[in-house]
Structure 1
Amino acid sequence: MNRYGDILLTFVLGIALVPSNADADWPRWRGPQDQGSVAAGTYPSELNAQTLRWKAPLPGKGCSTPIVVDQNVYVTAPTDGIDSVLAFDWSGNQKWNTKFGPEVKGKHRNGSGSNASPVSDGEAVYVYFKSGTLAAVELDGTVRWQTNLVDRFGKDTLYWDHGTSPVLTKRSVVFARMHNGESWLAAFDKQSGQLIWKEARNYETPRECDHGYSTPLVIEHQGRESLLVWGAEHLTVHDALDGRVTWTCGDFNPDGNQLWPVVASPVVVDDMAVVAFGRNDKGAPRLYGIRMDGSGDVTDTNHVWFRDDISTFVPSPVAYNGNVYLVRDRGEVECIDPASGKTVWSDALPKNRNSYYASPTIAAGKLYAAREDGVVFVADVADNEFELLSENDLQESVIGSPVPIQDHLFVRGEKHLFCFSSK
Structure 2
Amino acid sequence: MMTKYGLILSTCVLGFALVQSDAAADWPQWRGSADLGSVATGNYPSELDDQTLRWKAPLPGKGCSTPIEVDHTLYVTAPSDGVDALVAIDWSGKQQWLTKFGPEVKGKHRNGSGSNASPVSDGDAIFVYFKSGTLAAVELDGTVRWQTNLVDRFGKDTLYWDHGTSPVLTKQHVVFARMHNGESWLAAFDKQTGKIAWKEARNYQTPRECDHGYSTPLVIEHQGKESLLVWGAQHLTIHDAQDGRVVWSCGDFNPDSNQLWPVVASPVLVGDMAVVAFGRNDKGAPRLYGIRIDGSGDVTDTNHEWFRDDISTFVPSPVAYNGNVYLVRDRGEVECLDPATGKTIWSDAFPKNRNSYYASPTIAAGKLYAAREDGVVFVADVADGDFRLLSENDLKESVIGSPVPVENRIFIRGEKHLFCFSAK
With the length of structure 1 as denominator, give the TM-score of the two structures. 0.96
CA distance 1:232–1:325, change in 2 (3 Å) = same
For residues 105-116 of structure 1, the aligned pairs below 5 Å read 105-116=106-117
Amino acid at match of 1:297: D
For residues 218-257 of structure 1, the aligned pairs below 5 Å read 218-257=219-258
Partner Cα distance (2:98, 2:417) in 1? 15
Amino acid at match of 2:357: Y
1:420 corresponds in structure 2 to 421
Partner Cα distance (1:164, 1:81) in 2? 22
Amino acid at match of 1:68: E
1:15–1:24 Cα contact (<8 Å) kept? no
Post-superposition shift, 1:374? 0.1
Partner Cα distance (2:87, 2:168) in 1? 19
1:315–1:356 Cα contact (<8 Å) kept? yes
Partner Cα distance (2:33, 2:127) in 1? 16
Partner Cα distance (2:354, 2:307) in 1? 29
1:385 corresponds in structure 2 to 386
Post-superposition shift, 1:15? 5.4
1:4 corresponds in structure 2 to none
1:59–1:78 Cα contact (<8 Å) kept? yes
Post-superposition shift, 1:33? 1.1
Deviation readout 1:274-317 (Å, 9 max, x if unpaired): 00000000000000000000000000000000000000000000
1:315 corresponds in structure 2 to 316
Deviation readout 1:69-126 (Å, 9 max, x if unpaired): 0010000000011100000110000000000010000000000000000000000000
Deviation readout 1:243-287 (Å, 9 max, x if unpaired): 000000000000000000000000000000000000000000000
2:3 corresponds in structure 1 to none
1:328 corresponds in structure 2 to 329
Post-superposition shift, 1:215? 0.3
Partner Cα distance (2:408, 2:21) in 1? 11
Deviation readout 1:119-162 (Å, 9 max, x if unpaired): 00000000000000000000000000000000000000000000
Partner Cα distance (1:418, 1:15) in 2? 24
Amino acid at match of 1:392: N
Amino acid at match of 1:277: F
2:143 corresponds in structure 1 to 142
Corresponding pairs, count: 413
Partner Cα distance (2:216, 2:20) in 1? 22
Partner Cα distance (1:211, 1:164) in 2? 11
Which secondary structure state, in structure 1, belongs to the residue aligned with residue 385 of structure 2?
coil
1:410–1:420 Cα contact (<8 Å) kept? yes
Partner Cα distance (1:166, 1:336) in 2? 28
Amino acid at match of 1:140: D
Partner Cα distance (2:233, 2:366) in 1? 34
For residues 356-395 of structure 1, the aligned pairs below 5 Å read 356-395=357-396
2:189 corresponds in structure 1 to 188
Which secondary structure state, in structure 1, belongs to the residue aligned with residue 152 of structure 2?
helix
1:124 corresponds in structure 2 to 125
1:10 corresponds in structure 2 to 13
2:176–2:188 Cα contact (<8 Å) kept? yes
2:21–2:40 Cα contact (<8 Å) kept? no
Which secondary structure state, in structure 2, belongs to the residue aligned with residue 400 of structure 1?
coil
Which secondary structure state, in structure 1, belongs to the residue aligned with residue 336 of structure 2?
strand
In the alignment, structure 2 segments of 5+ residues that lack a partner are 1-8
1:78–1:114 Cα contact (<8 Å) kept? yes
2:20–2:36 Cα contact (<8 Å) kept? no
Deviation readout 1:318-352 (Å, 9 max, x if unpaired): 00001000000000000000000000000000000
Which secondary structure state, in structure 2, belongs to the residue aligned with residue 24 of structure 1?
coil
Partner Cα distance (2:247, 2:385) in 1? 37
1:3 corresponds in structure 2 to none
Amino acid at match of 1:11: L
1:37 corresponds in structure 2 to 38
Superposition RMSD in Å: 1.3
Deviation readout 1:213-259 (Å, 9 max, x if unpaired): 00000000010000000000000000000000000000000000000
Partner Cα distance (2:401, 2:358) in 1? 8
2:14–2:226 Cα contact (<8 Å) kept? no
2:273 corresponds in structure 1 to 272
Matched, 1:298 2:299: yes
Post-superposition shift, 1:11? 3.1
2:4 corresponds in structure 1 to none
State the 4+ residue runs in structure 1 displaced beyond 6 angstroms.
none
Partner Cα distance (2:34, 2:63) in 1? 25
Deviation readout 1:147-190 (Å, 9 max, x if unpaired): 00000000000000000000000000000000000000000000
Deviation readout 1:376-399 (Å, 9 max, x if unpaired): 000000011000000000000000
Which secondary structure state, in structure 2, belongs to the residue aligned with residue 281 of structure 1?
helix
Post-superposition shift, 1:24? 1.1
Q: What is the percent sequence identity of the aligned residues?
A: 83
1:115–1:163 Cα contact (<8 Å) kept? yes
Partner Cα distance (1:277, 1:351) in 2? 23
Partner Cα distance (1:386, 1:248) in 2? 36
1:248–1:297 Cα contact (<8 Å) kept? yes
In the alignment, structure 1 segments of 5+ residues that lack a partner are 1-6
Amino acid at match of 2:125: A
With the length of structure 2 as denominator, give the TM-score of the two structures. 0.96
Partner Cα distance (1:64, 1:342) in 2? 32
